[in-house]
Structure 1
Amino acid sequence: MDQATEAGLFTRRFGPPPGEGTRTVVLVHGLGLSGRYFVPLARRLAAGGASVLVPDLPGNARSRAAARRAPAVGQAADALARWHEHLSLGPSLFVANSVGAQVVAACAARHPHLVSGTVLVGPALEPGASALRLFGRLVADAPRETFSLLVLAATDYLLTGLPRCAASFRHALRDAAESFEGNLGDVHVPTLVVRGAGDTIASGAWVRRVAALTGGRTAEIPDAAHAAHYTAPDALSALIDEFTAGEPV
């Protein structure tokens, strides 16, 4: 793994450098977190020959200094696009978890030339759900995740800062109410929507709705919850390989 700051965003790199004939994959984390919880999946994708890049979004964790305050979802998407263009990556597969799916949907809608496909893992936040209800779902999901993930997440939340996490949550709620579904409808690339069978945050009905809006497909990973990419990286890597190969998922 190589690490560097690119266009203001702390970035982890795995596998060969991007180039012709190499699949480029960008992994986008959720609210208040960093790319660290994508490392298990990144290593598996890189072992299969992909060039994998994992940025910390602006205002989060080791990219905290890239934004004076928590950016709105659209602002984060534009920053992600600037980072992508700075690196001259070419059209890439974007894999996102949780609120990262809102950022990727906005990026695909605003900057479609950068995105060759999307994999949305536990997409959140679900439009129409209240902040209290969503918080309750998050609390219900925690016991279903591994202890190591909970420690990692708690460390990232503290590094990002709880006030910024709260502001990001408000921005994500506003985006879910006003823009998320519209952005999903503007995603015109192959899309796979993945849900851990034990996910209490992204419901089965919502995952099917996301797939319908994007014209995509769904898949479910047994024995996983909201962070299926962390607890079941082998299963998700296999799904991504099948998806990018155009095989049935």
Structure 2
Amino acid sequence: MSDIGFFARRYGPPPREGRPVMVLVHGLGLSGRYFVPLARRLAESGATVVVPDLPGNARSRAAARRAPDVEQLADALARLHQRLSSGPSLFVANSVGCQVAAALAARHPHLVSRLVLVGPALEPRVSGWRQFGRLVADVPGEPFSLLCLAVFDYLVTGLLRCAASFHRSLRDAAESFEVNLSHVRAPTLVVRGAGDTIASGTWTRRVAGLVADGRAEELPGAAHAAHYSAPDAMAALIEKFTVGGTG
């Protein structure tokens, strides 16, 4: 899919009225490729699953002249949604993608039926250097295949653009992330890999408490990219959440 102005992958049947649509939102500097295992698993249930490379990133690098800020990315997702579905959709986001999803739910609430936030970052009131240190500490807990994928995506996106995106995301974390979360009315599931060094248990529970209708879950044996290392377990959580709500 490229008629929306940036690249997106689709799994499952074509979108149509009455069929669930799920949009998977990647983290800073990456592509949607590390969501592919989860996307394929979710599509097996009959859902339409869309995995974009957000503007300015990876295969959509040329879609933005400079690194977009979080609100611009949220608005780009809103435009994508208008091409996909006449009704609200479920959005699954990882890491800094959670900031984008929160901004989308705050700015365009009618587009979001439910949110799943996996390892939400960046944590407010934590310095950029400390956040970077947490990222480095997470590396040993991730599959080697993910590390190879991430390095390739960072190089395609460009290290300078990644740095600019990091700066914009830090500013959003300091000024807007918690405010946006407090405006989220859609049922929200916040998931943390038990070995995640980036999104602490205290912070993920706070995220679940900030939204109007949230719950927190932890996946054992996974780190920050729990959706990649444990796609079956993540899909089971999402499917249970979509059927049973936050209970």
Same fold (TM over 0.5): yes
How many equivalent pairs are there? 246
- Identify the match of residue 236 of structure 1 among 197, 210, 234: 234
**2:222 aligned residue:** 224
Could you tell me which of 50, 58, 61 is aligned with 1:61?
Answer: 58
What CA distance in whole angstroms lies between the structure 1 residues aligned with 2:135 and 2:64?
A: 26
Superposed CA offset, 1:182-216 (max 9, x none): 00011101100000000000000000000000130
Match of 2:159?
Answer: 162
Tell me if 1:140 matches 2:137.
yes
Counterpart CA distance in 1 for 2:75 and 2:19 is 25
Q: Map residues 106-145 of structure 1 onto 2, 5 A cutoff.
A: 106-145=103-142
Q: Is the 8 A contact 2:192 2:223 kept in 1?
A: yes
Unaligned runs of 5+ in 1: none
Query: Is the CA contact 1:242–1:248 (under 8 Å) kept in the aligned structure 2?
Result: no
Find 2:4's aligned residue among 1, 4, 7: 7
Normalising by structure 2, report the TM-score. Answer: 0.97
Structure 2 equivalent of residue 30 of structure 1: 27
How far apart are residue 84 of structure 1 and its match?
1.4
Partner of 2:203, secondary structure, is helix
Q: Tell me the CA shift for residue 16 of structure 1.
A: 1.1
Q: Distance in 2 between matches of 1:240 and 1:105?
A: 17
How far residue 89 of structure 1 moved from its aligned partner, in angstroms, is 4.9
Same amino acid, percent of matched pairs: 73
Letter in 2 for 1:19: R
1:20-53 deviation per Cα after TM superposition (whole angstroms, max 9, x unaligned): 3321100000000000000000000001111100
Q: Which runs of 5+ in 2 are unaligned?
A: none
2:5 matches 1:16? no
Residue 93 of structure 2 corresponds to residue 96 of structure 1? yes
Report the 3-state secondary structure (helix = DSSP H, G, I; strand = E; otherwise coil) of the residue aligned with 2:206.
helix
2:209 equivalent in structure 1? 212
Structure 1 residues 3-26: Cα deviation after superposition (integer angstroms, max 9, x where no partner): x21311101000011223321100
Q: Is the CA contact 1:61–1:159 (under 8 Å) kept in the aligned structure 2? A: yes
**Following TM superposition, by how much is the alpha carbon of 1:87 offset from its aligned partner in structure 2, in angstroms?**
3.1
SS in structure 1 at match of 2:2: strand
